[in-house]
Structure 1
């Protein structure tokens, strides 16, 4: 389906992965929530889990199985330390990866933080017809990921193509 003239709001869930943040100090999750709602989408779920593989896997699986949720965006856990497990968990759940998401994120990030972008393992993919995007935990990274990639690709009016246009066909076999 090509881009359309009418905006189609999506149902989006935000997950913050952190051992140190609380709902009150989750500035990155709040930035994403604000931008998602400002863009006209529906924020249908928001949660915070620790940097624990099992907790993260459990939360993601429940959201992937929820037909109401069309997009999951996470923040945190994409670095290189021992507790950073987000990319491994996300990638274990993908039916199809979207390698260009991480590549484009790092290209955009390079403009702002230079070679430090090598420490980001941002990733994107599809699981059970649900888009999944893992962003780093900094507010700057969330801003870059939303403003320069996701805002356009999650807008049905963006051309020549966008993620919304193929959403109905993601589960086709």
Structure 2
């Protein structure tokens, strides 16, 4: 059973949003708009937002830049997670990950299954950690972004959520670098 602990103070996190698309501009980016709106509504900070084409090396390079930025705690990408030849976001994320959050894709599939049935099998949503930064790759549909935020990320990026959440372990993500 999960719940919120009102005695804990909310801790806003700084989140960058990357839309991966060969065709969309910011003006047409409904999925990015949904994420940006939910980030703001939750009390978090939209630290950066951009669109990149489906180019694995470019996506990975941008993820690395954001991971190196101390003003970004979380990166959420949308798009490029499908099965076609141009869908390379998952591979770009995995090029960057130090650790993969294996259950993220599983939980996303469970949440999606309730909305789109067996079509959820085509999702390659993924999550991981690199440079003390959380990274999540979501499908490009507005519905998938809503489902991922509302069904997973809203709770896991809220320090008040228990029994555990991503925010409370942020200070420990790079503890291995402090060891001698």
Give the shorter-chain TM-score range: over 0.9
Partner of 2:53: 50
Offset, 1:164: 0.4
Q: Per the alignment, do residues 3 and 100 of structure 1 end up closer, same or farther by CA in structure 2, a change over 3 Å counting?
A: farther
TM-score by length of 2: 0.93
Match of 1:36 among 35, 39, 61: 39
Question: How far apart, in 2, do the equivalents of 1:4 and 1:131 lie?
Answer: 25
Q: Per the alignment, do residues 129 and 111 of structure 1 end up closer, same or farther by CA in structure 2, a change over 3 Å counting?
A: same
Q: Does residue 1:72 correspond to 2:84, yes or no?
A: no
Match of 1:105 among 105, 108, 115: 108
Secondary structure of the equivalent of 1:73?
strand
Partner of 1:146: 149
Over the aligned positions, Cα root-mean-square deviation in angstroms equals: 1.2
Gaps of 5+ in 2: none
Partner of 2:158: 155
Offset, 1:83: 0.4
Q: Does residue 1:21 correspond to 2:24, yes or no?
A: yes
Moved over 3 A (4+): none
The C-alpha deviation readout for 1:22-75, integer Å capped at 9, x for no partner, is 110000000000000000000010000000112111211111111110000010
CA contact (8 A) 2:60 2:95 kept: no
Partner of 2:119: 116
Match of 1:86 among 89, 98, 117: 89
Question: How far apart, in 2, do the equivalents of 1:131 and 1:3 lie?
Answer: 24
